[in-house]
Amino acid sequence: MELENILQTLKQELDQIDDVQALNELKAKYLGKKGSITEFSSKIKDLPLEEKKTFGASLNKIKTEATNMIEVKREELETALLNKKLESESIDIALPSTKIPMGSPNIVEKIVEEVEELFMSMGYDVVDGPEIEEDRYNFELLNIPKGHPARDAQDTFYLKDDEILLRSQTSPVQVRTMLEGKGEKPIRMICPGKTYRRDNDDATHSHQFMQIEGLLIDREVSLSDLKGTFDVLAKKLFGEDCQTRFRPSHYQFTEPSVEMDINCHSCKGKGCSICKNTGWLTVSGAGMVHPNVLKNCGYDPKEWKGFAFGFGAERLAMESYGIDDLRIFYTNDLREIKTFDRKEAE
Amino acid sequence: MIDLEWVKDYIDIEDQDLKELAVKITEAGINVEKIITNHIDNLVIGEVTKCEMHPDSDHLHVCEVNIGKETVQIVCGAPNVREGLKVIVALPGAILPDNFEIKKSKIRGVESNGMICALYELGLEEKTEEAYNRGIEELESTAKVGADPLKFLNLDDTLYELDVHKHRNNDCYYHIGFAYEIACILNRKVTLPKQDTNPINDNIKNHFELKVETEKCPYYLAKMVTDVKVGPSPEFIKRRLNAYGMRSINNVVDISNYVMLEYGQPLHFFDKDSLGDKIIVRDAKDEEKIKTLDGIDRVLKTSDIVITDGNKPVCIAGIMGGEETEVTENTKTILIESAIFDSVSIRYTAANLDLRSEASIRYGKGLSYEYTEKAVERACHLLEKYAGAKVLSGTIKHDKVDKTPKIATFTVDEINSMLGITLTEDDIRTELNRLDFEFQYQDGKFITTIPSRRLDVDPNVNDIAEEVGRLYGYHNLVSTLPKCEIRKGEYIGDVKYRKIISKRLRSLGLNESKTYTLTSPAMAKTFKYEDKENAVLPNPMSIDKSVVRTSLIPSLLNVYDYNKARKVNDVMLYEISKTYDANHNEESKIAILMSGNYILNEWSKATIKIDFYLVKGIIENILDYLGFKNRYAFEAEVLPEIHPGIGARILLDRKPIGIIGKVHPKVSKDDIYVAELSLNSLMVKVKPIKFKAAPKYPGIVKDMAFAINKEVSSKTIEDVIKKVGGRLLTNINVFDVYTGENVKEDEKSLAYSLTFQDPNKTLTEEEVNTVFENIIKNVEAKTNAKLRDK
């Protein structure tokens, strides 16, 4: 075989090859110990000195070229092989996924946590206390002595002789926090928790429900500060365009007392059946802490002031998520709860 | 309910739009819930100028009616319609009761432009046969054509239905009290009604003796009138009582009710001749009986107050009078009682007898002493005027009321800083004048006396701020935020643990449930794995909710059943709640219930079914997360309502903190796994996180398998392996549990793969073999296990 033709022959042979093994054999045929190209190099020693140089150079060049050609072919073959393998491995990505289990919060707990996070960001601690309470924490220290008509509205589950009860409100947690503060420390806290009243369970009543109460005690606090705080909460829960208003009200443990309304989200304040044509929905009762309560809990009303507020957590959730039956929170239908495993819309 | 026409007797509000006034009143704190008015638009007085028979009917008339501006043709079917009659005409557009709108129409071919009305058609009278037969209302000839007929008939009263907060429901539910409220809103003055009389020359003291023997009657006032002529009430009293919803009975009874609605003070009228000459007010004797004027025999308790004639009760104080001394048509002489009774006692008696009267409601709310005397005088005035009564001079009185005036001292600054506003001294003066609170201003301080009718206002800055604030208008407050130190709020105590564990459990796939603390005795009896008694409500609402639970598992099982019944098969639940025992000791618990598949993908076979070990894994995950690695253990135990072979006690630092297991098949046929942990037991100190470098030297893994009796826990072998393996043994993994061929029938094979590692050097095969052989030797020696494939 002429040296000049060798690469051309190689090329023709390479074109015929379609697997790696044949390629290895071809490589041996040309570049192996007894390969045709290798054989040419054994001829070098018989050539005259001058020719030796030029022949050697062109042989080397051909050797490199041949190696290259073979390796290029190898890569081609390997790529084709891999592609074939990948093709055989392809899947139907439309088939259903493997569901990663993720639990949801209870619906009412969802809104409670939102309120908690908001108030914690404003420096309020989140505290809870006993659900089986003493009468004095639940009523007496809160300016509701025995025989007071305010007790009638909160028909209470008593466990023992008018002394031990299931708390009818979370306010006793405020009392306990104030007593711990010993009249010396400013207080910022909210106390979401279970409460109990003798109501028959129906769409709007429940013998067990959740309250979120809050308390701020400091030296300089005003009713306008309460209004500002309520605005922050209303906007967070019901959107930036939520309107709020205060109405005079009455509670035994606050004075002045107010009811805090938001404009009806359903009719945007025009009046509808949900808001009884008033355009407003009451979401909270609040007020400035009654001086008697401050005194009872060790804070001197001449030096300290405070505001307190309370929400029905289920009520907030009902307004917020459009729920019309209070019992839903306690049936725990997983088909309903599951939809609450997601972050809030911004 | 308040009649605004009536209120006009005491305050000038002629210029007020009553709808707008209602808004002002509501904004100032008295909620006007409903405005009730008889007013109907497009109602005018008309005069029938021509009346002819309908050409196509034997009873209809075609009338020409002059309504002032014009004359309209109306077809009328009433038999009494006739020329010259003044009538009530509803013109097109008028909306009558039941939403009946008057429209132009043709009646049997004849045009009719309205309707001539009877009172019952306007909802002002009951539709009786008599009213129907009377036909259309015939107005007096003095009626002015074109004017409002209801105004002419004095039937256009507007009433406010109030929803008043408890503290104001004593002074806002009577007309004079409400007039004071309007007065402070509009800054006007109240004029009290006439109460003058011409007493005769005979004193009540000649006829009566009074003794009060109970502390629950701080005030008792009696006055006497004689020569009473019982008859019908004057029109205005009848009409006002009717509008209020009270039936007119006769002038005497009506006057007592009328004065009560004026002053809020219930009066009781005794027939003096049946009563005798003595009144003793005392606590009732146990089982004492009285027939009240509704004809029912009542049995009293010692907590009730009675008015007696010296022997027997003649009236249950503040609730209802006795039949025996009731005012009748033949009554000539009346003893008028105006008293104050202990409000708590009255409420209690009313509830106890299930007898709520207009009087008991008012006594129950508390009364101002100021009006007891005024009310009696007013009643005498009215009886003299409208029942021909002669008023005896003098009163009989028992008065132990504390009349110390309520005086509040405050500064402008105190009010401003309470409300967050900036009023001036003059503003405060104006407000106090509007409230009709007398005051002085001294050394920068206001000293004000609170009128006794305002039982709700206490003499402190907050109460004055409330009065000032509500008149200033809460809608005028500008929102500000408290000026407080900046800090981040925190979850405190058990709440913190509740949140941490709650979030972890949710991310492990469990859904939070919320169930009732009160359960049934049957539920409370189950899953009693602790030595705890239940707290039981002495007066539950129902047996279903009568016991305070000590375990949450029964409630979660209910939730499981609820979901299962709705074809939800994969149920993964948790609840964290407080529980209480009979001594009211609190323990927060974390309960878990899991059933079905944890991960489900049927076509890809990636499904993981929930079993004991998965729930155990959840528990371990929680405990490890809280930092309790190597401090807890599971110990097999037979537990109530748990499968006897699939249950365990969970221990932390060797103390029981909860349970885990499969629900006993006698409780449910489904494969349900439950666990419960004491949250309080987890609120203990743990070591802080410390960095531990990954091992630098390779480990050697060696396997071994033992055959051992089926009953023996794998823990028995594992404990020996751990002990003998010592420091070099860094991991034990069970990779096979096998029964069947090649293993004896009562045995199982447990295969372990052990990892040995030294943090400081590469271990040699010999070093590991020594330990490995030692482990085998010890396991065989200390347990009944035999190494397999030796």
Average pLDDT of the residues of chain A: 90
**CATH for B200-399, among 3.40.50.620, 3.10.20.70, 3.40.190.100, 3.50.40.10?**
3.50.40.10
Establish if A106 touches chain B: CB-CB under 8 angstroms: yes
Of the candidates A101, A125, A335, which has its C-beta nearest B598's C-beta? A101
What is the tens place of the pLDDT at every residue in B404-414?
999 999 999 99
Task: Count how many residues are written for chain A.
Answer: 346
Nearest CA in chain A to B567: A335
Lowest mean pLDDT among A77-86, A159-168, A205-214, A262-271: A262-271
Beta B305-308 vs B313-316: how paired, if at all? antiparallel
pLDDT at B96: 83
- What is d(CA B396, CA B52) in angstroms, rounded to the nearest whole number? 68
Of the candidates A160, A207, A332, which has its C-beta nearest B541's C-beta? A207
* Interface list for B 540-559 with A (CB within 8 A): 540-541, 545, 548, 559
pLDDT at A161: 81
- The share of chain B scoring above pLDDT 90, in percent, equals 68
Strands (E), A60-144: 125-126, 132-134
DSSP for B587-625? EEEEEEEEESEEE--TTTT--EE--HHHHHHHHHHHHHH
pLDDT at B410: 94
Nearest CA in chain A to B365: A149
A206 confidence band (pLDDT: 50, 70, 90) = very high
For the domain spanning B2-38+157-186, the CATH number is 3.30.56.10
pLDDT at B702: 93
What is the tens place of the pLDDT at every residue in B445-496?
999 999 988 888 899 999 999 999 999 989 899 999 999 889 999 999 999 9
Q: Which residues of B283-303 are buried (b: 16+ CB within 10 A; e: fewer)?
A: bbeeebebebeeeeebebeee
Taking an 8 Å cut-off on Cβ atoms, the answer to whether A126 and B460 are in contact is no
Taking an 8 Å cut-off on Cβ atoms, the answer to whether A166 and B517 are in contact is yes
Nearest CA in chain B to A124: B489
| B101 bridge partner residues | B95
pLDDT at A1: 56
Taking an 8 Å cut-off on Cβ atoms, the answer to whether A157 and B537 are in contact is yes
Lowest mean pLDDT among B20-24, B335-339, B662-666: B20-24
The pLDDT of residue A147 is above 90 = no
A161 or B410: whose pLDDT is higher? B410
- What is d(CA B552, CA B469) in angstroms, rounded to the nearest whole number? 48
Q: How would you list the strands of the sheet with B672-678, edge to edge? A: B511-512, B571-580, B586-595, B672-678, B655-663, B642-652, B632-636
Taking an 8 Å cut-off on Cβ atoms, the answer to whether A106 and B514 are in contact is yes
pLDDT at B743: 87
Average pLDDT of the residues of chain B: 92
**A107-340 CATH fold:** BirA Bifunctional Protein; domain 2 (3.30.930)
The pLDDT of residue B51 is above 60 = yes
pLDDT at B29: 84
Taking an 8 Å cut-off on Cβ atoms, the answer to whether A159 and B420 are in contact is no
CATH architecture of B700-787: 2-Layer Sandwich (3.30)
Q: Which residues contact B688 (CB under 8 A, 6 or more apart)?
A: none
Highest mean pLDDT among A39-43, A82-86, B554-558: B554-558
- Within 8 A of A221 by CB-CB distance, chain B residues are 482
Closest to B308 in 3D by CA, of B334, B296, B326, B290: B290
**Contact of A102 with B506, CB cutoff 8 Å:** yes
The pLDDT of residue A154 is above 70 = no
**B43-152 CATH fold:** OB fold (Dihydrolipoamide Acetyltransferase, E2P) (2.40.50)
Of the candidates A96, A132, A231, which has its C-beta nearest B584's C-beta? A132
The pLDDT of residue B403 is above 60 = yes
Encoded amino acid at A263, one letter: N
pLDDT at A153: 61
A46 confidence band (pLDDT: 50, 70, 90) = confident
For the domain spanning B494-682, the CATH number is 3.30.930.10
pLDDT at B32: 86
Give the dihedral sign, CA B438/B441/B446/B447: negative
Taking an 8 Å cut-off on Cβ atoms, the answer to whether A335 and B514 are in contact is no
Of the candidates A109, A196, A334, which has its C-beta nearest B514's C-beta? A109
| Shortest distance, CA B410 to any CA of chain A (angstroms) | 11
For the domain spanning B406-470, the CATH number is 3.30.56.10
| Shortest distance, CA A247 to any CA of chain B (angstroms) | 6
The pLDDT of residue B169 is above 80 = no
Taking an 8 Å cut-off on Cβ atoms, the answer to whether B347 and A152 are in contact is yes
Establish if A227 touches chain B: CB-CB under 8 angstroms: yes
**Contact of B75 with B59, CB cutoff 8 Å:** no
DSSP for A161-177? TTTEEE-SSSHHHHHHH
- What is d(CA B459, CA B744) in angstroms, rounded to the nearest whole number? 91
Q: Using CB atoms within 10 A of its CB, is residue B89 exposed (0-12), middle (13-18) or buried (19+)?
A: buried
pLDDT at B28: 87
pLDDT at B416: 95
Lowest mean pLDDT among B168-172, B258-262, B342-346, B442-446: B168-172
Substitution target from B484, B498, B536, B545 for chain A, most A beta carbons within 10 A: B484
pLDDT at B201: 92
A272 or A100: whose pLDDT is higher? A100
Total-model pTM: 0.82
| Shortest distance, CA A82 to any CA of chain B (angstroms) | 25
Give φ, ψ of B470 to 5 degrees.
-70, -30
Domain boundaries, chain B: 2-38+157-186, 43-152, 200-399, 406-470, 494-682, 700-787
**How many Å from the N-terminal Cα to the C-terminal Cα in chain A?**
80
Taking an 8 Å cut-off on Cβ atoms, the answer to whether B599 and A216 are in contact is no
The pLDDT of residue A49 is above 90 = no
- What is d(CA B320, CA B298) in angstroms, rounded to the nearest whole number? 11
For residue B8 the two structure tokens come to 């006009």
pLDDT at B575: 98
Encoded amino acid at A15, one letter: D
Q: Which residues of B110-123 are buried (b: 16+ CB within 10 A; e: fewer)?
A: bebbbbbbbbbbbe
- What is d(CA A85, CA B450) in angstroms, rounded to the nearest whole number? 96
pLDDT at B191: 93
Residue for token digits 């008065």?
Answer: B399
Beta A187-196 vs A125-126: how paired, if at all? parallel
- Count of beta carbons in the 10 Å neighbourhood of residue B606: 12
- What is d(CA B60, CA B81) in angstroms, rounded to the nearest whole number? 10
- What is d(CA A326, CA A329) in angstroms, rounded to the nearest whole number? 6
What is the tens place of the pLDDT at every residue in B271-304?
999 998 899 999 999 999 999 988 999 999 999 9
Taking an 8 Å cut-off on Cβ atoms, the answer to whether A333 and B562 are in contact is yes
What is the tens place of the pLDDT at every residue in A301-331?
999 999 999 999 999 999 888 898 999 999 9
Highest mean pLDDT among A246-255, B63-72, B661-670: B661-670
The pLDDT of residue B42 is above 70 = yes
B589 or B457: whose pLDDT is higher? B589
pLDDT at A135: 94
Give the pLDDT mean for B116-144: 84
**Contact of B707 with B788, CB cutoff 8 Å:** yes
For residue B546 the two structure tokens come to 């009568």
> Reduced to 3 states, what is the DSSP secondary structure of residue A69?
helix
* Interface list for B 498-537 with A (CB within 8 A): 502, 505-518, 535, 537
For residue B302 the two structure tokens come to 């010692």
Establish if B566 touches chain A: CB-CB under 8 angstroms: yes
DSSP character for A248?
E
Beta B406-410 vs B209-212: how paired, if at all? unpaired
The pLDDT of residue B243 is above 90 = no
- What is d(CA A287, CA A226) in angstroms, rounded to the nearest whole number? 8
| Shortest distance, CA A238 to any CA of chain B (angstroms) | 17
- What is the ipTM, given to two decimal places? 0.88
- For chain A, helix, strand, coil in percent to 5 are 45, 20, 35
> Reduced to 3 states, what is the DSSP secondary structure of residue A36?
helix
Give the pLDDT mean for B188-208: 92
Q: Which residues contact A285 (CB under 8 A, 6 or more apart)?
A: A249, A251, A257, A258, A259, A260, A309, A310
- What is d(CA B306, CA B281) in angstroms, rounded to the nearest whole number? 6
Give the dihedral sign, CA A32/A33/A34/A40: positive
Q: Which residues contact B654 (CB under 8 A, 6 or more apart)?
A: B633
Identical fold for domains B2-38+157-186 and B406-470, yes or no, is yes
Nearest CA in chain A to B351: A152
* Interface list for B 324-383 with A (CB within 8 A): 343-344, 347, 364-365
Q: Which residues of A168-202 are buried (b: 16+ CB within 10 A; e: fewer)?
A: bbbbbbbbbbbeebeeeebbbbbbbbbbbbbbebe
* Interface list for A 23-62 with B (CB within 8 A): none
